[in-house]
Structure 1
Amino acid sequence: MTEIRPRGRGAAVLRQTVTDTIVAAAVAELAETGYAGMSMGAVARRAGTGKAALYRRWPSKEAMVVDLIDVFASRQVPAGGAGDLSGDVRAYVRAVADTLSDPVVMRIVLDLTAEAARNPGLSEAFDTAIRQPRRTACERFLRSAVERGQLPADLDLDLALDLLVGLTQWRVLNTGQNVDDSYVEATSKLIIQALPLCLGAGDRRGVRG
């Protein structure tokens, strides 16, 4: 698990083992009850500690969950760098599929995605920790593919990113269907074939924009 550095006062002197126990309890509680039903007291009981230990690390439930989003973010963005469009696309689709196929992660992501529509703090955390790094990683290898001549110079980046990110995420989050190796391969082939058709940036961002 990625080490969390809590945002409460005196966080630097807090015991990491206690923090790890609380984080594990918070993940379990969030997956079981959702953000709306989650409370600091319930997390403390599950962790076998007092609420004071939580408040020494986080000033609120929202602050704690924002840190949990950082934990999930560390599993979201693939390393990339295959040096080939086909390899980069397959690595990305596989990484997203592996992450979202975890039942606990999927329940939490579904719940927090809905909650973020009502909570500006969570929405900003999602954008900063997950959405933007994911799109930045994809944009990097798409630009490299353009430089290698594997994609057209007038590629519409926003449209290409929507295509790349959307298919696997839609299948897992909106249909709940399994993502196996055959689906990853079929989806990767479809994306690779369709990417060169993402042309005409117009008002959107192009590679040369």
Structure 2
Amino acid sequence: MTTESKRAPAGAAVLREDVTSAIRQAVMYELAAVGYGRLSIEAVARRAGVGKTAVYRRWSSKLEMVLEIVSGVAGQTLPQLDTGSLRGDLEMLLRIVARALQHRLASQIIPDLLAEAARNPKIAQTLQEALHTNQREVSAHLVKRAIDRGELAADTDPETAVDLIIGPIYWRLAVARTPLPKGYVSSMAATVATALGATSGEPVASRGISG
């Protein structure tokens, strides 16, 4: 009787997910600490507790690594909100976005990458695609529900809606980096609902999400 020893497959098939996760986390912390310009593969590997080879087995360059990881985070799907009214949906969405933009890592990474995007077309394209696709999808669902409820006209443009919904809060938190005054989110939700031509709908409880 003979037994065959089983060999683990070589190459990408044996990449450990826990190592990949550690590297991804290290990239985010390094971006927040030093920015894209000063980020290095060596520093990422050191923070992740791995060798540089582990990083290079997954990504061929700093740019490729950052683009994949950041686009994955930026493109995370937001919950499909349905509070019963357009204004309620808007307020809930704005609170979620505000909380994300004020996260201690995001608040450092986003302004740095926006500045870097002005110099690097690949970063600009990646951010635009990841953010815009996600936001457009959420906005389309939000507008459709409001149309179905009779709050918005059937020809309401989701593209315009996403600019009105997301634009102001991105400007304040990611570009101007100005704290949100008390009551800003509720006021902005009401303003956007009016700007979109909402005919009815009152805000509902924020279900424990503050901001």
Shift of 1:76: 6.4
Report the secondary structure of 1:179's partner residue: coil
Residue 171 of structure 1 corresponds to which residue in structure 2? 172
Which protein has the larger Cα radius of gyration, Structure 1 or Structure 2?
2
Residue 57 of structure 1 corresponds to which residue in structure 2? 58
Matches within 5 A, 1:1-209: 10-73=11-74, 77-179=78-180, 182-196=183-197
TM-score scaled by structure 1?
Answer: 0.80
Q: Percent identity?
A: 39
Deviates more, 1:162-171 or 1:123-132: 123-132
Q: Which has the higher contact order (CA 8 A, sep 6+)?
A: 2
Indicate conservation of the 8 Å contact 1:93/1:184, yes or no.
yes
In structure 1, what residue type is equivalent to 2:142?
A: F
Instruction: Provide runs of 4+ in structure 1 moved above 4 Å.
Output: none
Indicate conservation of the 8 Å contact 2:75/2:134, yes or no.
no
Report the secondary structure of 1:57's partner residue: coil
Distance 1:97 1:76, change over 3 A: farther
1:125-159 Cα deviation digits (max 9, x unpaired):
21332221112211221133123220123434433
Distance 1:190 1:45, change over 3 A: same
Report the secondary structure of 2:111's partner residue: helix
TM-score scaled by structure 2?
Answer: 0.79
In structure 2, what residue type is equivalent to 1:66?
A: L
Structure 2: where are the runs of 5+ without partners?
1-9, 199-211
In structure 2, what residue type is equivalent to 1:142?
A: V
Residue 6 of structure 2 corresponds to which residue in structure 1? none
Distance 1:43 1:185, change over 3 A: same
1:25-65 Cα deviation digits (max 9, x unpaired):
11111111111111111211222221111000111111111
Shift of 1:83: 4.5
Indicate conservation of the 8 Å contact 1:78/1:91, yes or no.
no
Report the secondary structure of 2:105's partner residue: helix
Structure 1: where are the runs of 5+ without partners?
1-8, 198-209
